[in-house]
Each structure stands twice: as C-alpha cells, then as structure tokens.
C-alpha cells in the first residue's frame, strides 16, 4: 500500500522529515552502490527506461502530481534517470537529469517516500545522479519538503517559481498594450530562431530539448521584420495544457505571445510556471484565470542564475519555464 511520497518538480509534495547531510555528495569519488539495505528489505537501482509507463504514472499519482503516462514518456525521451525497486520489482522512487552540453544539467522527478527518505534513500538516489552528471553545473526546482535536503547537498536558493493555473478566460484578460511587431503562429522554419532566443533567455543552449518541445507544441512568435523577438510554446500536459517556455524582452512582449494561447484554450485548464511575481505579466496571468496555485524554489549547484547573464544588462528573459522538471 502506498503512503504519501515526497518529490521535486511539478506540483505539491508531502511533508517529509529529511536527514541532514554534512557534505555534498557531488564530489565523492566512491562508486555508488547498486543496492541499498532499508530496514528489513533491500532496494536496487534500475534504469528508468526499463520500467513500464503505468508504474511510473502510479508513482506520480501517489504524490498527487498531474503527470500523464505521455508526460513521463516525453521526459524519458528527453533525459536519463533511475528508479528504486524493491525485491519484487515495485517502484519506490525515481530521479532524473537532463543534460545540455558538457557543462550543465537540470535535475527533477526525484521521488521517495518519507520513510525511505529518512533511511537514506534520497541520499542514495542523488549520489547516483551526481555520479552521472559529470561535474556539470546543476539546477532544479524544489518543493518546500525538498529544500532541506538540497541545501545539505550544497544547492543554493535562487528564485521562487510561481505555479499559475486554472481555467483560462480570454474574455476577462483586460485591454491589450500596443506591441510593436507582428504576432504569428510558429512553424518548423522558425526552430533555429527559437533555439537561439531560448539560449539567450535561459543562458544555456538547449537545441535538442527545444526541437522535441516544438514537435509537441503549438507556438506563437513576435516578429519585428524577419527577427524573432519573443515566443511562447504550449503543449498538452497533466490536466490540460502548459505554456512554456516563454522568452521575451519585456512584460508587454511576453503577454503578447501568451495571449493567443489563452484565447485558444479559453474555457479549459491552462498552466504556466514563472519567476515573475509582479508587473504586467503576473497581473495578466491572474486576469486570464491562472492565479498562483503553489510555489517551488529554483536552486543551483555551481554557477548561479546571475552567472548565466553576465555582461547582459538587458535582453531576452525566460518568462515561463518549459516545466519545473526541465527548467
């Protein structure tokens, strides 16, 4: 029988009492073990690719997360991961990472039960991740329950992420601010421009991920002449659709490329994860039927968020994440 589980990534995790870990496991040279003795039973590690989607789906359902089996499959195609299995093959936990080049990765979908967490399962899973990421700078989005664990692993707090969601209402969005340029639907010819603009906003080039997201998304872009100045992608996820990533130079431009998605999905469930807590963009989301539902905390190990924007006082910014797991 499943008990409440603790997670890092999308949605709320249950409160868990987490152990204090004195030093970061990232730099440990010992090869991580393939099994872990927990109380009266043992866990073994497995590749997430070898696990049936319905069992992964059950894992996220147990923590109240909205992930569909299709969302899990998208994540497996985009990254790598482990599962923790008991002696009869039940999935008791998971951890994933998503590498972008040789120097950077995001971490997410870390799930363990409170009981196993206090017995070292969370430490065990993270040790496996650290062994595979190869010294990359890391970024993740942690629930309240997760923060203590990641602080003990030398992750540093960065910014709050506001999970905004609800039934979209195009008719209540209010007046639109005049935006210079043309808004149009994106097509495959725009992929290189989207990749380049995302790299400027996110700070890391994510070509493979953006191409994969593009294949599953509808997109709108703001063009000034032939130049793409802002974009917003929207794809099926969880209870409805999620908008992200969104990259723009200003609140006005971000609103301009998100507004068509709100219109397209008026009357249905829409979600967006953003660092923006005030200003025109945040107000727009609330008026469009997507108030703040929950928060998580962006944390980093290695380079800070500010390090990725060195020398750039102005320019494109990431207004909405691709997801809490992907960043």
Work out whether strand 317-320 and strand 218-224 pair parallel, antiparallel, or are unpaired: unpaired
Over residues 127-131, mean pLDDT: 93
> Using an 8 Å Cβ cutoff, are 117 and 123 in contact?
no
Domains, the chain, ordered by start: 6-154 (3.40.630.30), 162-320 (3.40.630.90)
- What pLDDT was estimated at residue 124? 83
Instruction: Please determine, for residue 70, whether its predicted confidence score (pLDDT) is greater than 90.
Output: yes
Average of per-residue pLDDT values in the chain: 86
Q: What letter would DSSP give residue 184? A: E
Of the candidates 325, 273, 321, which has an alpha carbon nearest to the alpha carbon of residue 96? 325
Instruction: Please determine, for residue 17, whether its predicted confidence score (pLDDT) is greater than 90.
Output: no
The pLDDT tens digits for 242-296 are 999 999 999 999 999 999 999 999 999 999 999 999 999 999 999 999 999 999 9
Longest dimension (CA), the chain: 66
Bridge partners of residue 233, in order along the sequence = 219
- Which residue is listed with tokens 């998971």? 94
Of the candidates 303, 302, 281, which has an alpha carbon nearest to the alpha carbon of residue 292? 281
Provide CB contacts within 8 A for 197, sequence distance 6+: 228, 229, 230, 231, 247, 316
Instruction: Please determine, for residue 61, whether its predicted confidence score (pLDDT) is greater than 80.
Output: yes
- What pLDDT was estimated at residue 226? 93
Structure tokens at 42: 């043992």
DSSP H stretches of helix in the chain: 53-62, 69-78, 114-118, 121-133, 144-152, 191-202, 207-216, 251-264, 279-287
Kindly report the pTM of this predicted structure: 0.85
- What pLDDT was estimated at residue 131? 94
CA distance 4 to 16: 9
């Amino acid at each position: 029988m499943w008990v409440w589980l603790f997670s890092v990534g999308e949605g709320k995790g249950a409160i868990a009492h987490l152990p204090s870990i004195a030093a970061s496991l990232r730099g440990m040279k010992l090869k991580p073990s393939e099994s872990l003795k927990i109380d009266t039973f043992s866990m073994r590690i497995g590749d997430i690719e070898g696990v049936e989607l319905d069992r992964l789906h059950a894992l996220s359902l147990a923590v109240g997360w909205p992930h569909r089996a299709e969302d899990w499959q998208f994540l497996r195609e985009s990254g790598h991961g482990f599962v923790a299995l008991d002696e009869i093959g039940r999935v008791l936990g998971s951890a994933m990472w998503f590498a972008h080049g040789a120097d950077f990765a995001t971490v997410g979908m870390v799930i363990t039960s409170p009981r196993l967490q206090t017995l070292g399962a969370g430490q065990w899973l993270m040790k496996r991740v650290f062994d595979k990421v190869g010294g990359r700078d890391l970024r993740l989005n942690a629930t309240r329950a997760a923060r203590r664990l990641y602080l003990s692993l030398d992750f540093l707090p960065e910014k709050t992420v506001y999970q905004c969601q609800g039934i979209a209402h195009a008719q209540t969005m209010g007046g639109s601010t005049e935006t210079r340029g043309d808004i149009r639907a994106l097509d495959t010819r725009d992929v290189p421009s989207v990749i380049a603009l995302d790299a400027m906003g996110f700070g890391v080039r994510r070509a493979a991920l953006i191409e994969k997201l593009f294949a599953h998304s509808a997109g709108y872009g703001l063009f000034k002449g032939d130049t793409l100045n802002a974009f917003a992608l929207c794809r099926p996820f969880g209870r409805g659709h999620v908008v992200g990533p969104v990259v723009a130079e200003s609140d006005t431009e971000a609103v301009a490329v998100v507004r068509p998605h709100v219109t397209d999905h008026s009357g249905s469930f829409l979600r967006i994860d953003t660092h923006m807590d005030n200003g025109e963009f945040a107000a727009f989301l609330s008026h469009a039927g997507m108030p703040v539902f929950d928060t998580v905390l962006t944390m980093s190990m290695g380079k800070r968020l500010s390090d990725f924007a060195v020398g750039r006082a102005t320019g494109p910014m990431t207004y909405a994440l691709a997801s809490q797991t992907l960043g």
